[in-house]
C-alpha cells in the first residue's frame, strides 16, 4: 500500500510532473506520467480521502481498470452489482436497464487507486495549491504545507482537482457552474431492490434535478441533485426523504449527510483540455457526462490519457497529444449537450415514460 503523507514538505524542489488532485483522474495521471520521471501528487484534503459520491463503477470504468487487476473484495459492497433504473415517481413508472455498475465503497476505491502508484510517486495530502506561474521551460507551483508556502517547479502540471478546480480558475479560462449534491446515509430496516434508482419528482421545485437511491450493505445512499443557486437545499433534501419514506418504509433514520459540488456542464466551452504546459483532467477539464452526471469513467479515461501524453511526448508537445487523445470524448460530450435541454424539460421527462424499456436500456448504456 502506498503511504500517504499529510501536510508535509515536498522532498524535492523540482519534479517532471506535478498533479493536483488525488482522485481517479489525478491518480491515473500520476501513474502514467511516472514513466517519464519524478511525480508529485497533492490534494487539499487529508489522505486517504472520503469523497461524497454514489460509489458505482460504470462498465467503461471497469474496462479502463482491467489492466490493473481485480478490484479488492474488501471495497465491494452488497449488492455486488446494481443496475440503472429510470423512475418517474409521480406516475409510478420504473424502467430497469441492462446497464450494470459494480457497487463499491468510494473511500476504499480511491485508496486502492493510490495503492497502484509506484513508490517513486510522492503523495501528499493537506497540501493545497496556492498558485502557479507558467514559464517558457515549465511551471512554478506554490503549495501550502504545514511549514508554510513552498515553491516547486515542474515540466508539466496536471489539474485534476474537481468541479471547482483551482488550477482551471488560475488558468483564467473560465469556470463552469456546479450543482449542489446532498446525500444521506440511511439505515435500512429491510431489503430494497438492487438498483441504482434515478428518480424524477415534480413536487420538489424547479431547482431540483433528480434523486437517487443506492443500497450499500446495511445502509442506502439517498441523494439529490440541485441546480446552481438553489436556496435551502437541505430543506428540499428533507422533503425528498419524506416523499420516499412514505412509500419505502425500509428507509430508516439518517445516519449522516454529505454535500459536494458536481460540474454543471451546459456549453462546449466548459470542456477544456488545458493551456500551455498545464493539462486539465476529469471534472477540472469539464470531462463528465452532462446527461447523467457520471464522472468516474471520464476521470479514469482522461487521467490515463494525460499520463500517457506526458510519458510519450516532449513537454511542449504534451497538450497537443493529450487534446488529440480526448477529442472523441469531447465530441461525445458535445453530442450529449445537444440533447440535454430536451431531456431536462418537463416535456422530455413526460415523454420518457412512453419510451420502451429496451430503448431506455440502449440509450443509458453510454450514460
Read off the pLDDT of residues 33-70 as tens digits, 9 standing for 90 and up.
999 999 999 999 988 777 778 889 988 899 999 999 89
Average pLDDT over residues 3-31: 93
pLDDT band at 96 (very low <50, low <70, confident <90, very high): very high
* 3-state SS class at 96: strand
Angle at the Cα of 362 (from 359 to 366), degrees rounded to 5? 140
Grid look-up 413526460 returns 350
Burial 72-98 (b: 16+ CB within 10 A, else e): eeebbbebeebbbbbbbbeeeeebbbe
Predicted local confidence at residue 360, as pLDDT: 60
**Strand partners of residue 171:** none
Question: In 189-218, which ranges are E strands?
Answer: 195-200, 208-216
Phi, psi angles (nearest 5°) of residue 345: -75, 160
Query: Would you state the CATH architecture of domain 5-50+109-176+267-340?
Result: 3-Layer(bba) Sandwich (3.50)
3-state secondary structure 295-325: CHHHHHHHHHHHHHHHHHCCHHHHHHHHHHH
Average pLDDT over residues 350-364: 68
Q: DSSP of 169-192, one letter per residue?
A: HHHTS----EEEEEEEEEEESS--
Q: Is the pLDDT of residue 344 over 80?
A: no
* DSSP code of residue 204: S
Cβ atoms of 349 and 93 closer than 8 Å: no
Read off the pLDDT of residues 150-198 as tens digits, 9 standing for 90 and up.
999 999 999 999 988 999 999 987 667 788 899 999 999 999 999 999 9
d(CA 72, CA 200): 34
0.85 surpassed by pTM: yes
- Alpha-carbon radius of gyration of the chain: 21
Short-list 158, 165, 142, CA closest to 275: 158
Q: What percent of the chain has pLDDT over 70?
A: 95
C-alpha cell belonging to residue 80 = 455486488
Segment holding 348, helix H or strand E: helix 346-352
User: What mean pLDDT, rounded, does the chain reach?
Assistant: 90
d(CA 285, CA 319): 13
Cβ atoms of 276 and 140 closer than 8 Å: no
Cβ atoms of 157 and 276 closer than 8 Å: no
Handedness of CA 18, 22, 26, 31 (dihedral sign): positive
d(CA 4, CA 46): 9
Domain positions in the chain: 5-50+109-176+267-340, 56-106+177-264+345-364
Is 56-106+177-264+345-364 a CATH 3.40.190 domain?
no
C-alpha cell belonging to residue 3 = 503511504
d(CA 218, CA 304): 34
C-alpha cell belonging to residue 337 = 449537450
d(CA 37, CA 354): 55
Predicted local confidence at residue 367, as pLDDT: 52
Amino acid at each position: 500500500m502506498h503511504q500517504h503523507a499529510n501536510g508535509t514538505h515536498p522532498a524535492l524542489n523540482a519534479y517532471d510532473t506535478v498533479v493536483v488532485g488525488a482522485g481517479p483522474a489525478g491518480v491515473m495521471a500520476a501513474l502514467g506520467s511516472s514513466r517519464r520521471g519524478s511525480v508529485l501528487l497533492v490534494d487539499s484534503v487529508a489522505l486517504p480521502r472520503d469523497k461524497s459520491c454514489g460509489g458505482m463503477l460504470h462498465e467503461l470504468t471497469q474496462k479502463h481498470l482491467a489492466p490493473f487487476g481485480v478490484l479488492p473484495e474488501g471495497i465491494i459492497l452488497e449488492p455486488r452489482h446494481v443496475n440503472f433504473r429510470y423512475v418517474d415517481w409521480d406516475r409510478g413508472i420504473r424502467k430497469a436497464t441492462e446497464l450494470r455498475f459494480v457497487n463499491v465503497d468510494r473511500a476504499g476505491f480511491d485508496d486502492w487507486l493510490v495503492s497502484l502508484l509506484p513508490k517513486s510517486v510522492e503523495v501528499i495530502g493537506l497540501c493545497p495549491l496556492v498558485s502557479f506561474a507558467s514559464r517558457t521551460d515549465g511551471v512554478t507551483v506554490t503549495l501550502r504545507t504545514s511549514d508554510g508556502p513552498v515553491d516547486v517547479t515542474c515540466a508539466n502540471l496536471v489539474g485534476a482537482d474537481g468541479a471547482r478546480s483551482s488550477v482551471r480558475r488560475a488558468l483564467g479560462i473560465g469556470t463552469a457552474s456546479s450543482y449542489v449534491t446532498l446525500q444521506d446515509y440511511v439505515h435500512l430496516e429491510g431489503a430494497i431492490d438492487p438498483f441504482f434508482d434515478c428518480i424524477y419528482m415534480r413536487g420538489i421545485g424547479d431547482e431540483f434535478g433528480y434523486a437517487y437511491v443506492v443500497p450499500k450493505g446495511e445502509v442506502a445512499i439517498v441523494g439529490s441533485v440541485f441546480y446552481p443557486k438553489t436556496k435551502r437545499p437541505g430543506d428540499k433534501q428533507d422533503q425528498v426523504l419524506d416523499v420516499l419514506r412514505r412509500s419505502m418504509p425500509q428507509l430508516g433514520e439518517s445516519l449522516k449527510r454529505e454535500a459536494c459540488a458536481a460540474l454543471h456542464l451546459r456549453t462546449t466551452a466548459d470542456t477544456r483540455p488545458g493551456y500551455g504546459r498545464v493539462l486539465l483532467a476529469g471534472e477540472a477539464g469539464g470531462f463528465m457526462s452532462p446527461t447523467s452526471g457520471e464522472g468516474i469513467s471520464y476521470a479514469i479515461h482522461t487521467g490515463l490519457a494525460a499520463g500517457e501524453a506526458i510519458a510519450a511526448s516532449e513537454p511542449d508537445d504534451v497538450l497537443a497529444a493529450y487534446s488529440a487523445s480526448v477529442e472523441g470524448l469531447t465530441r461525445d460530450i458535445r453530442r450529449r449537450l445537444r440533447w440535454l435541454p430536451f431531456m431536462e424539460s418537463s416535456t422530455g421527462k413526460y415523454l420518457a415514460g412512453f419510451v420502451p424499456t429496451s430503448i431506455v436500456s440502449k440509450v443509458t448504456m453510454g450514460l
